[in-house]
Amino acid sequence: MAAPAADPTLEPTPPSQQEKTLHMTVLASPDMANFSGRVHGGSLLKLLDQVAYACAARYCKSYCVTVSLDHVFFKEPIQVGELITVLAHVNYVGSSSLEIGVKVVAENLKTLAKRHTNSCYFTMVCMDEDGKPTQAPPLIIESEAERRLFKAAQMRRELRKEVMARNQALHEASGEPLPGTAVSGPTH
Ligand SMILES: CC(C)(COP(=O)(O)OP(=O)(O)OC[C@H]1O[C@@H](n2cnc3c(N)ncnc32)[C@H](O)[C@@H]1OP(=O)(O)O)[C@@H](O)C(=O)NCCC(=O)NCCS
């Protein structure tokens, strides 16, 4: 009698060839609170930057810097006393830059209810020993989900470049810096 076919859903997931994902959990403590007693947006962003850095540096096995942060979405507030889990993933690798997608899940310790509270995208740059951008390890796409993340990140990279180029053109057309913007610089 032929052996029954293996159920692919019961097979262990093969280990990834690269360190692309990092999860970090912390307790939302009173020192993270704002005047309303909930977690301050700035405190959360600092935590997210640290996790994005750790995810990028672990993937690159090298020092990385944050060059930009976008699509920051504060979907729901986080209460002091909740458990904050930050999920970071390398979505895309260009030459020296990487997009790290970040999702935040808050958990109420009494009800165990979990909520997706925040998300954002960090662009990090892989740096060499001399503090110059250097080639990051090319991304190996290992699943359909990773392919979708990659394509979405590629689209955001194009959008970032276009927004920066159009912003730069506005600066140049007006002949003076737009209020609230940084000094003019190269477009990417
Ligand atoms: C990051 C930094 C080294 C980039 O310098 P640069 O002269 O722009 O370097 P490059 O032109 O080679 O760009 C490097 C990469 O960053 C990307 N990049 C640059 N500016 C960007 C921006 N505003 N948004 C998204 N990506 C950007 C480029 O597209 C390029 O990606 P690629 O190599 O995958 O194609 C420089 O801007 C820097 O030192 N910034 C300060 C970083 C910092 O202090 N962060 C806070 C503390 S960690």
Which residue from 140, 142, 146, 181 is spatially nearest to 163, judged by alpha carbons? 181
List the residue whose alpha carbon is closest to atom 15 of ligand 1.
97
The kind and range of the H/E element at 104 are strand 97-107
CA–CA separation, 10 and 188 (whole Å): 45
Residue 180: inside a domain: no
Q: Is 67 in the pocket of ligand 1 (CB under 6 A)?
A: yes
Give the ligand 1 atom nearest the CA of 65: 48
Question: Is the beta carbon of 94 within 6 A of some atom in ligand 1?
Answer: yes
Q: Is the pLDDT of residue 8 over 80?
A: no
Q: What are phi and psi of 130, to 5 degrees?
A: -95, 10
Average pLDDT over residues 118-138: 98
pLDDT for position 187: 43
- Say if residue 160's pLDDT is above 80: yes
Is residue 172 a part of any domain in this protein? Answer: no
Residue 104 forms part of a structural domain: yes
- Sheet containing 97-107, strands listed edge to edge, beginning at the edge strand earlier in sequence: 21-27, 83-93, 97-107, 114-126, 64-74
Host domain of residue 105: 16-139
- pLDDT tens for residues 29-76? 999 999 999 999 999 999 999 999 999 999 999 999 999 999 999 999
Q: Determine, yes or no, domain membership for 166.
A: no
CA 94 to ligand 1: nearest atom: 34
Distance in angstroms (rounded) separating the CA atoms of residues 76 and 96: 33
Q: What is d(CA 100, CA 125) in angstroms, rounded to the nearest whole number?
A: 11
Q: Is 133 in the pocket of ligand 1 (CB under 6 A)?
A: yes
Looking at the CA of residue 131, tell me the nearest atom of ligand 1: 3
Look at residue 3 in the predicted model and tell me its pLDDT. 59
The phi, psi pair for 18, rounded to 5°, reads: -135, 155
Q: Provide the pLDDT for residue 168.
A: 92
Model confidence over 162-187: pLDDT tens digits? 999 999 999 899 887 666 665 555 44
At 134-151, the pLDDT tens digits run 999 999 999 999 999 999
Ligand 1 near 93 CB (within 6 A): no
- Tell me if 65 CB under 6 Å of ligand 1: yes
Is 9 contained in some domain? no
Q: Each residue of 83-120: pLDDT tens digit?
A: 999 999 999 999 999 999 999 999 999 999 999 999 99
Q: Is position 131 within any domain? A: yes
In a domain, 37, yes or no: yes
Which bin fits 185, alpha (ψ -120 to 50), beta or left (φ > 0)? beta
Ligand 1 center to 125 CA (angstroms): 6
What's the 67 CA to ligand 1 centre distance in angstroms? 5
CATH number of residue 35's parent domain: 3.10.129.10
Domains in the chain, number: 1
Determine the distance separating the centroid of ligand 1 and the alpha carbon of 66, expressed in angstroms. Answer: 8
Tell whether 185 is covered by a domain. no
Separation between Cα atoms, residue 158 and residue 119, nearest integer Å:
20
